Structure 1
C-alpha cells in the first residue's frame, strides 16, 4: 500500500498564485499538502517586519517563552539522572518581548546553543499577547475559510531562530503556515506512513529552570515517534524503508497548507 500510495501521489504540489476556494478544496479532499509561493507576500507584515519594528511595537509586553537546552522542545530526551528516555516538555516563562528578542539574536550568532528560546504557544496567541502585531496580517485566509466554511479556530505566531526544531508529530487540524521572516524547513510524512515511524509511549517530563528534567507527577505516558527520517537506520520498523519524506522550505511570503494528521 505504501509503495502504491507514493507512486500515485509523488511530491508536494506548488502554486505561484492563490488558489480559488474550489481548487483548494480539491487538496483538502485528497488530504495532500500544498505550497503557495508568495501567497502572503502582500501582507504588511512581510513588507514591514524587522527587529527594530518588532521592538517598537511590542516593547516590553510579556510573552510566553519556551526554553530548552538545545531547542528540542516536546522531543525524546534521555535523562542522565535515571537513564530513562522521556517526552520532554519545555520550561515556560513569561518574559518581556524585548528581552526575548534580544536573546534570540544573541544565540542565533552562535554555532551551537546551550539555551534556546522559542515562542511556540498554540493558544491563539496572535490575537492575545501578540495582538499589537495582528493588524499587519490578514484576519483570515479567505480562500481557505470559504472552502472549509469556517473561520480559523486559532491564529498563532511562532518566533524562533536556527536552533529551534520541532519534533515529528501530527496535528488533528487543517493548518496553513505563513512565513513572515526568515525561512523554515519542513519534513512531511503522509498519514499512511504511520507504520514507519515506530510510535511508542514515553513517560513525560518537563524541564525546570535549571534545565534539569522533572518527571510528571502523577506519571503520564505520551505517544511519540521514535524513528527519525533524518536518521533512518535508528529505531526503524520493518516499513521505515518505504517512507518517502517530503521536504519543503518556506521563504518570506510563502504559505504551506498541511492537512489534518500530517
Structure 2
C-alpha cells in the first residue's frame, strides 16, 4: 500500500519513463520519417523526438546572416522584448514578493534591434520573441527562405496556427512552462538547449500563484517592474534548473526537493543545433537556454511552427497530474 499522493506520483514518473519515454530523446533522420510514422511513433504517444535533415533544403540555413536580414527587411519594425536580465515571462522576486514578470515591449526598426542586441542600453537584454505568428506578420520578407514541414501538417491534419521567428543571444532564458500546442522547433543559427519534463511531472516544478507585473521604462529610460492593473495572478513554475551560484542552488534544493531528488529520473536534455528539428509535444514542460553561434553574428535564430493540440484524454491526464501536484503542495503528508 502506498503511503500518500507523493508515492503515487513518484511511481507514475518512473513508469512513464520505463514503459515509453525513456531517459534520452531519440534522434532520427528525416529520410526515415513519414507523416504516418511521425504520428504513430511520436504524436500519438506524446513523445519528443529530434529530427535531422528535415530542413537541409531551407535557404535560411545558408542565407540568414545579420547583414542579410538587415538588407532584406530594410526599414521594417519588429516587436522587441526587453528585461534587465534576459528572463522574460518568469517568476521574479522583488520587494519581498514574487511576481510573474512580463517584458517591456516596443516596436523597433530591425536595424536598431541588431545594433542593440549585443550592446543593450542601460544593461537591457533584448529578444525578438513575439509569439503572434511573427514570421509572416513581422518578418514576411524572410518567409520564402523556409518551408512549412508538410510531414507535420499531414500528421496533425491542420496547417500551423502560428509560425514564429526567434532571434536572441546567450542572455535570453525561457523559464519552465508548457504550451497548448504541438511544437515543431527548428534551429537555423546557434544552439537551443531544452530541459524537458513530461506532463506527469508537474509536481516537481512547484507552481505558485504570482501577481502579474510588467517592466516599464521610467523617465530616465530605466526598466522598472510594476504590478499590472487591474490586479491578476497566474500560476507559474518556480524551479530554475540552472542556478546562478552554489548558494542559490542549495536554496533551490531545499525549496524544491522533488525536482532535485536523485531517486527520480532526471529531466530530459536536448542540445539542438543548426539544421535540427525538435518535436516538442503539447503540454510538456520545457526550459530553454541558448548558445550563440561562434561567427561574427553571435546570435541564435530559430523558427517554430505551432499546431493546435487535440483536447483528448491526454489533456485530461495532464490536468489530473496538475491537480495531484496541487494537493501534494497544499495538504499535509498524512492526509494526502
Name the residue aligned to 2:256: 236
Cα deviation, residue 55, structure 1? 1.0
Cα deviation, residue 146, structure 1? 0.6
Question: For the Cα contact (< 8 Å) 1:63–1:97, is it kept in 2?
Answer: yes
Question: For the Cα contact (< 8 Å) 1:227–1:234, is it kept in 2?
Answer: no
**What is the root-mean-square deviation of aligned Cα atoms in Å?**
1.6
User: Which stretch of the first structure deviates more once superposed, 6-15 or 21-30?
Assistant: 6-15
Distance in 1 of aligned mates of 2:260 and 2:202: 9
Flag the 1:229–1:243 CA change in 2: closer, same or farther, 3 A.
farther
Name the residue aligned to 2:292: none
Cα deviation, residue 114, structure 1? 2.6
How many pairs does the alignment contain?
A: 254
Name the residue aligned to 1:114: 123
Question: For the Cα contact (< 8 Å) 1:193–1:243, is it kept in 2?
Answer: no
| 1:130 partnered with 2:144 | no
Name the residue aligned to 1:110: none
Cα deviation, residue 234, structure 1? 4.6
Name the residue aligned to 2:277: 255
Cα deviation, residue 227, structure 1? 2.0
Residue 83 of structure 2, aligned match among 55, 59, 68: 68
Q: Which ranges of structure 2 fall in alignment gaps of 5 or more residues?
A: 1-11, 243-248, 285-336
Distance in 2 of aligned mates of 1:160 and 1:45: 16
Residue 158 of structure 1, aligned match among 139, 142, 166: 166
- Structure ranking higher in helix proportion: 2
TM-score if structure 2 supplies the norm length? 0.73
The aligned runs of 1:19-168 (5 Å cut-off) are 19-25=33-39, 26-79=41-94, 82-106=95-119, 114-138=123-147, 140-168=148-176
Q: Which ranges of structure 1 fall in alignment gaps of 5 or more residues?
A: 108-112
Residue 205 of structure 2, aligned match among 197, 203, 218: 197
Distance in 1 of aligned mates of 2:211 and 2:254: 20
Cα deviation, residue 69, structure 1? 0.4
Superposed CA offset, 1:119-157 (max 9, x none): 11111011111101111000x211001111110000000
- Structure ranking higher in strand proportion: 2
From the CA coordinates, give the structure whose radius of gyration is larger: 2
Flag the 1:237–1:131 CA change in 2: closer, same or farther, 3 A.
same
User: Which stretch of the first structure deviates more once superposed, 43-52 or 12-21?
Assistant: 12-21
